[in-house]
Amino acid sequence: MLVDDDQSVLVYLGAKLARHYDVVSTVDPYQVLALARGERPDLILCDYDMPGMSGMEVASALHGDPQLADIPLVYLTSLVSPGALRDLEGQVRGRPGASKRAPLSDLLARIEEFTGGPAARSAVRA
């Protein structure tokens, strides 16, 4: 599942990731819980810096819900460069992160850390 307040990011990443995964996306962070309950994604890629409800608040809501707490969440951010993220050992505010400025191969590798890779499941949701 992709969550980002920028529709162009969702269109771009959705198209790239759809070659490898089934992708569900939303620009509305307030819809994440309902969408996650309905879709049961294997992973949620969530923008860190969104107006209204931040990625931290989305993560907190997801992990506070017993039905959704087991779904891994990776922050997407343009605030941290790929190099800086490596220096932070792949963490953004204590959670796994991925830089929007990183090559697609880096994002795919990050997804595979949590899903076991595109071949691991027939209906992986990213």
pLDDT band at 38 (very low <50, low <70, confident <90, very high): very high
d(Cα 60, Cα 79) in Å, to the nearest integer? 20
pLDDT at res. 100: 84
Question: Any idea what the Cα angle at residue 18 is, between residues 17 and 22, rounded to 5°?
Answer: 110
CB 17 within 8 A of CB 126: yes
Residues 5-10 have a mean pLDDT of 94
pLDDT band at 46 (very low <50, low <70, confident <90, very high): very high
85 vs 115: which has the higher pLDDT: 115
Higher-pLDDT residue of 49, 125: 49
Amino acid code (one letter) for 90:
G
**Letter for the amino acid at 34?**
A
Domains and CATH numbers, the chain: 2-115 (3.40.50.2300)
